Amino acid sequence: MSDTVAEALEQLQPRLRGPLLRPQDPGYSDARTIWNAMIERHPAAIARCSGAADVMRAIAFARQRGMPLSVRGGGHNIAGSALCDDGLVVDLSQLRAVHVDPIARRARVDGGATLADFDHEAQAFGMATPLGINSTTGVAGLTLGGGFGWLSRKYGLTVDNLVSADVILASGERVRASSENESDLFWALRGGGGNFGVVTEFEYALHPVGPEIHAGLVVYPFDAAKETLRRYRDSIAALSDEQSLWVVLRQAPPLPFLPAAMHGREVVVIAAFCTGGDAMGEATFATARSFGEPIGEHLGKMSYEQWQQAFDPLLTPGARNYWKSHNFNTLPDAALDVLIDYVGALPGSQCEIFLGLLGGQASRQNRDATAYPHRDAQWALNVHARWSEAREDERCIDWARGFYKNSMPFAAGGVYVNFLTADEASRIREAYGGNYERLLSLKQRYDPENLFRANQNIRAIETAA
């Protein structure tokens, strides 16, 4: 860090209510630690903001000095966009308040809140909105990329339930974006990533959910994977919006309901979820059991909060992670063959491939209703390479890239922007499809100097050209 930058940072600290952490300060190392341990970056300073005023002052400081700027919400993004080298991090992680209005069915959520924060408050009133599947994920990054999870077939994407957002723009101005005010910005925020500003507060519509739902796992042997996946694929058309079935293919963790001999062996896991009544819940379980001869199951009523945290033990921070992703509209047998081949060659016990089922209400919006365009996608498939030691980087990354390449002929041609890694700037147009040109125009309007570029940057492909 140059003496000039250091002197300027000394002047910034008294203007912030929250702490400004620099490399020599206690807490700096922890503050630059994020979910994906592959990301190693060293910011000049981290502004742990205590409110919107801190955010505004930090943005103005970076803009005036031409410093790189990044924004941290939950710090869960696979590409590590929360951090930048030699720049200023606007850290929202201390802003985690969630205010629920059960009468209006609205929730106001701070930009640093996690899914667990949101669910904890909303479920006190038996309410929820569609979020993701890992409770430590930040609400902000999830929302700005589109957002989908167990409730999306019933209530749409996260962005379909966003009512308004308080945004600090690159100019330093604070605006409230909604369908009535700054409607173009509001459209862009609903899937356009962190390209347009820093959202300090989100407002969501809430829906009656739980507190108990029907959910659980059915596990099938891998040697019958082809028939299991065929039956699964063919069952989807009969599901109601209240029902969802996802697939996870991996080595079996030491789950107590599985025979010990199956621990560490490849399996096909069907994750079942239903928000309907008892009869529909039991019907969902019956469907999940109908894809072959299961080797174990754990199904029943549980709290929605409990199910939202069910996969957390497999997604803890501190591991090295690399993803590759496709959207699929259909799953022909040839695509299943590729899937099975790569699961049969998993490079490590933490690696997996999952198929997140979409459809239902998530598919009923027009492609240009929000910046997120992939309304015809029936599955978002993510190849999740995950390992502990740097010496395994090449092997695990090559495995993920190999599946991506060999499954491409069967994919729909789109990708969920939140699943893109740091080396995938060339796929940004793919992430936005026909909405890209409008997003580019709005980027030039709201952030002409590209201050907000530590993201899947809408200008990145233009600059490369």
**Rounded distance between C-alpha atoms, residue 151 and residue 308, angstroms:** 11
**Rounded distance between C-alpha atoms, residue 460 and residue 464, angstroms:** 6
- Domain identity same for 195 and 343: no
Q: pLDDT per residue over 49-103, tens digit each? A: 999 999 999 999 999 999 999 999 999 999 999 999 999 999 999 999 999 999 9
The CATH number that applies at residue 87 is 3.30.43.10
- Is 430 within the bounds of a domain? no
Q: Quick one: which of 126, 335, 150, 310 has its CA closest to 239?
A: 150
- Domain identity same for 202 and 236: no
- Domain identity same for 179 and 230: no
pLDDT value of position 4: 75
- Domain identity same for 346 and 304: yes
Rounded to two decimals, what is the model's pTM? 0.94
The CATH number that applies at residue 305 is 3.40.462.20
- Domain identity same for 228 and 375: yes
- Domain identity same for 152 and 254: no
- Is 446 within the bounds of a domain? no
Task: State which of 38, 56, 91 marks the end of a domain.
Answer: 91
- Domain identity same for 381 and 288: yes
- Is 33 within the bounds of a domain? yes
**Rounded distance between C-alpha atoms, residue 119 and residue 308, angstroms:** 8
Q: Quick one: which of 162, 370, 152, 184 has its CA closest to 273?
A: 152
Task: State which of 175, 193, 208 marks the end of a domain.
Answer: 208
Task: State which of 149, 181, 208 marks the end of a domain.
Answer: 208
Residues 6+ apart with CB under 8 A from 229: 247, 268, 291, 331, 336, 339, 340
**Rounded distance between C-alpha atoms, residue 168 and residue 176, angstroms:** 9
pLDDT value of position 360: 97
- Is 449 within the bounds of a domain? no
- Domain identity same for 235 and 374: yes
| Alpha-carbon torsion (396, 402, 404, 410), positive or negative | negative
Residue 62 in tokens: 């970076």
Strands 88-91 and 69-72: parallel
pLDDT confidence of 5, banded at 50, 70, 90?
confident
Segment 335-348 mean pLDDT:
97
- Domain identity same for 261 and 193: no
**Max Cα distance, the chain (Å):** 69
Segment 354-383 mean pLDDT:
97
- Domain identity same for 204 and 346: no
- Is 425 within the bounds of a domain? no
Least-confidence region, from 56-65, 308-317, 454-463? 454-463
The CATH number that applies at residue 174 is 3.30.465.10
**Rounded distance between C-alpha atoms, residue 192 and residue 438, angstroms:** 10
- Is 442 within the bounds of a domain? no
Average pLDDT along the chain = 96
pLDDT value of position 465: 34
Residues 6+ apart with CB under 8 A from 463: none
- Per the CB < 8 A criterion, the answer to whether 70 and 35 are in contact is no
Q: Which domain, by its residues, includes 348?
A: 212-419
**Rounded distance between C-alpha atoms, residue 81 and residue 245, angstroms:** 31
- Is 439 within the bounds of a domain? no
- Is 461 within the bounds of a domain? no
Q: pLDDT per residue over 218-255, tens digit each? A: 999 999 999 999 999 999 999 999 999 999 999 999 99
**Rounded distance between C-alpha atoms, residue 109 and residue 199, angstroms:** 10
Asked if the bond preceding 211 is cis, omega within 30° of 0, the reply is yes
- Domain identity same for 75 and 153: no
- Domain identity same for 199 and 245: no
Domain count, the chain: 3
- Looking at 256-368, list the stretches that DSSP marks H as alpha helix, in order from N- to C-terminal side: 278-288, 304-308, 333-343
The DSSP letter of residue 392 is G
